[in-house]
Amino acid sequence: MDGLRLSVLDTSPIVRGSTPGRALRDTVDLAKLTDALGYHRYWVPEHHGMRGVASSAPAVLVGHLANATRRLRVGAGGVLLPNHAPIVVAEQFGTLAALHPGRIDLGIGRAPGGAPHAVAVVRPERERTAKPFEQQLDELRSFLHPEEDAPVKAIPVLGGNVPDLWLLGSSAASAELAGTLGLSYAFAHHLNPGEAGGAMRAYRDSFRPSEYASTPRTLVSVSVIAAETDDRAEWLAGPTRLKVLSRLRGKRIQLPSPEEAATYPYTDEDRATIATRSARVLTGGPETVTALLRQILTETGTGELMVTTPVHHHTDRCRSYEIVATLPLEQQ
């Protein structure tokens, strides 16, 4: 992995039959494993009120993961800025950067991070939208790199304790904003695979050097389920197919086991619906996944893939990351 970088996006999934505590302990275990395997960075998101996601407090979790690992860059993928006062985000991640120099990332997003009734408890809508997102982002940047005469400063960032700042997105609009501001850009292929190539072109075309990045810098997050064979990978992918189908039918469920998914009585309509969504999860044995990931690398021109793996059993999730780490992704 000398040229291409591989990284991890981990939601700390609470699968059916598990608990939040178990999910967070599995996250720590996976971080240690991927640190040893040579992965580059490990990001955790911010979600609220989702019973299948334990990652709700990224700043807390990032600090714990940084303590539990040796080499990985650790960060938020991402902090949802409208939910927070920008100075608090700067203080939190400035503190982390001071305690773990050169290892902390701060990915910023604008999504709500949960259902409207849950997000309203985190921060009322009138406060979330009182200022445009771009203005909130400008305020955060001003706290990360304060003017000498700034009346209020985020004290922990002083002395160079600044996290590596990224903008997250899944559209050409977010890509252009990142480029215009000279920020590194993370594209969510696992949410919107069809726009990946166009967004990357928009980012590079609009990029202006800044104190955050002198040249365009990207990563692409991808959903991958790798196993020893295509058949085994498809079996492991059954739960995520069933979960997507249930959500489309108006019922949100925790990720079931492969055994449960395999016995579900799918109709022809169900199978057709699943087929239209299957491209979001790259599934297969080593050769199949290698070809799929090489296609994304060619399409986007990125130098970093951030892998998220939605499988039920923690051992299968770990095995998928082990397989991906060995793939010959850089074409000769």
Please report whether residue 26 resides in a domain.
Answer: yes
Alpha-carbon 318 to chain mean position: 17
Please report whether residue 241 resides in a domain.
Answer: no
- In this structure, the strands spanning 41-44 and 5-9 are parallel
CA-nearest of 221, 224, 240 to 324 is: 224
Q: 76 vs 104, 105, 131, CA distance in Å?
A: 9, 6, 22
Region class of 327: left (phi > 0), else alpha (psi between -120 and 50), else beta: beta
Cα distance between residue 78 and residue 308, in whole Å: 14
Q: Supply 86's token pair.
A: 């920008």
Range of the domain at 178: 5-224+283-326
Please report whether residue 37 resides in a domain.
Answer: yes
| φ and ψ at residue 320, rounded to 5 degrees | -60, -45
Cα distance between residue 212 and residue 289, in whole Å: 33
Please report whether residue 261 resides in a domain.
Answer: no
Please report whether residue 179 resides in a domain.
Answer: yes
Please report whether residue 160 resides in a domain.
Answer: yes
DSSP single-letter state for residue 156: G
CA-nearest of 153, 188, 149 to 171 is: 188
Look at the chain and report how many structural domains it folds into: 1
Query: What's 146's domain CATH number?
Result: 3.20.20.30
Please report whether residue 270 resides in a domain.
Answer: no
Please report whether residue 159 resides in a domain.
Answer: yes
What is the residue-level pLDDT of the chain in tens, covering all 332 positions?
Answer: 448 999 999 999 999 999 999 999 999 999 999 999 999 999 999 999 999 999 999 999 999 999 999 999 999 999 999 999 999 999 999 999 999 999 999 999 999 999 999 999 999 999 999 999 999 999 999 999 999 999 999 999 999 999 999 999 999 999 999 999 999 999 999 999 999 999 999 999 999 999 999 999 999 999 999 999 999 999 999 999 999 999 888 888 999 999 999 999 999 999 998 888 777 899 999 999 999 999 999 999 999 999 999 999 999 999 999 999 999 998 64
Q: What residue spans of 207-304 are helical by DSSP H?
A: 230-248, 258-262, 268-277, 286-300
Give 106's strand partners: 76, 165
- HEC string for 16-47: CCCCHHHHHHHHHHHHHHHHHHCCCEEEECCC
